[in-house]
């Protein structure tokens, strides 16, 4: 499956390099990125800050940039296209008032015992807009801020379990999740939006800080999906917030 996910990235990379050769680009940009990811799922209380911050994992990836073709000077000075491949993993648990140690009901015990994890492999692109021109056309700038939008194709693996025993019985599973748990591996699409900046180190390298919101088209990425008609707090699909730190190298 990893080969199936990796092939489109290699194809995009080859296509972009070939396009630049045809249009006379004299340099290319490659980089790496990594950072913490905060996963918003069906674990815990909706809107609880502790639930959001403690369901944290990590993300790492590689990326390749190229500017738009030379025939469009009004676009090429402010836009870049980035293709990337990344891996994300996070462990998940319930946090909030219902799992406070003072709560002794069966429901609270079941929630405290429920654990899980999810991991995804993503390949996709994002279009970055630089309001004060890209560093291709503003080489003296130390900072080059941008905003971006894009899409990803991914493959997720979710796991859900309980310290009380196998899920699916009244002893181990809260009623809310009686028919809303899955351990599975499936493809998934997502939409992304980022705010970030480049920090120039020298003519051939930059640091990148990128804050990315990724919204999945499925609510099963975390392995949980309570009935939305019955549990109104389960309003959105899974999504994540990632703070990436990266390094970009320019070469001929």
Mean pLDDT on 128-151: 82
Q: Which of 10-24, 60-74, 220-234 is predicted with the least confidence, judged by mean pLDDT?
A: 10-24
Paired strand residues for 190? 152, 216
pLDDT at 10 over 70: no
pLDDT at 18 over 60: no
DSSP the chain: -HHHHHHHHHHHHHHHHHHHHHTT---EEEEEEEEEEEEE-SSS-TT-HHHHHHSEEEEEEEEEEEEPPTT-HHHHTTEEEEEEEEEEEEEEE--SGGG-TT--SHHHHHHHHEEEEEEEEEEEEEEEE-TT--TTT-TT-SEEEEEEEEEEEEEEEEEEEETTSSSSSTTTS-GGGTT-B--EEEEEEEEEEEEEEEEEEETTEEEEEEEEEEEES-S-TTSB---TTT-TT--S--EEEEEEEEEEEEE-
> Percent of the chain scored above 70 by pLDDT?
83
pLDDT at 153 over 80: yes
pLDDT at 15 over 80: no
Give the largest CA-CA distance in the chain.
Answer: 69
What is the model's pLDDT at position 26?
A: 45
- Prediction pTM value: 0.84
Q: How many CA atoms lie within 13 A of 83 on its CB side?
A: 17
Name residue, tokens 């972009």.
Answer: 16
Q: How far apart are CA 30 and CA 91, in angstroms?
A: 30
pLDDT at 211 over 50: yes
Higher confidence at residue 233 or residue 131? 131
pLDDT at 192 over 90: yes
pLDDT, tens only, 158-187 = 999 999 999 989 999 988 898 889 999 999
Question: Domains along the chain?
Answer: 2-251 (2.40.160.20)
Mean pLDDT on 139-161: 91
Mean pLDDT on 209-235: 88
Q: How far apart are CA 26 and CA 60, in angstroms?
A: 28
Structure token digits, residue 234: 């389960």
Is 107 within 8 Å of 114 (Cβ atoms)? no
Contacts with 27 (C-beta within 8 Å, 6 or more apart), sequence order: 250, 251, 252
Paired strand residues for 151? 125, 191
- Exposed (0-12), middle (13-18) or buried (19+): which is 145, by Cβ within 10 Å? middle
Q: Which of 1-15, 178-192, 226-240 is predicted with the least confidence, judged by mean pLDDT?
A: 1-15
> Percent of the chain scored above 90 by pLDDT?
52
Contacts with 74 (C-beta within 8 Å, 6 or more apart), sequence order: none
């Amino acid at each position: 499956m990893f080969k199936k996910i990796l092939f489109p990235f290699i194809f995009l990379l080859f296509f972009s390099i070939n396009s630049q050769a045809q249009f006379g680009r004299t340099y290319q940009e490659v980089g790496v990125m990594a950072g913490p990811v905060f996963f918003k799922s069906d674990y815990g209380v909706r809107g609880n800050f502790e639930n959001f911050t403690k369901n944290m994992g990590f993300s790492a990836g590689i990326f390749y940039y190229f500017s738009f073709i030379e025939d469009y000077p009004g676009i090429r000075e402010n836009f870049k296209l980035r293709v990337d491949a990344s891996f994300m993993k996070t462990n998940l648990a319930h946090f909030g008032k219902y799992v406070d140690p003072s709560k002794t009901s069966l429901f609270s015990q079941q929630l405290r015992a429920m654990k899980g994890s999810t991991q995804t492999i993503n390949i996709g692109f994002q279009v970055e807009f630089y309001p004060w021109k890209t560093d291709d056309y503003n080489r003296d700038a130390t900072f080059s801020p941008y905003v971006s939008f894009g899409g990803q194709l991914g493959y997720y693996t979710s796991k859900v379990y309980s310290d009380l025993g196998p899920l699916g019985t009244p002893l181990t599973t809260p009623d809310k999740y009686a028919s809303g748990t899955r351990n599975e591996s499936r493809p998934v699409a997502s939409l992304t939006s980022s705010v970030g900046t480049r920090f120039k180190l020298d003519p051939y390298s930059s640091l990148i800080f990128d804050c990315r919101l990724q919204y999945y088209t499925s609510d099963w990425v975390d392995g949980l999906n309570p009935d939305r008609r019955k549990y109104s707090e389960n309003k959105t699909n899974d999504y994540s917030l990632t703070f990436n730190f990266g390094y970009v190298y320019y070469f001929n």
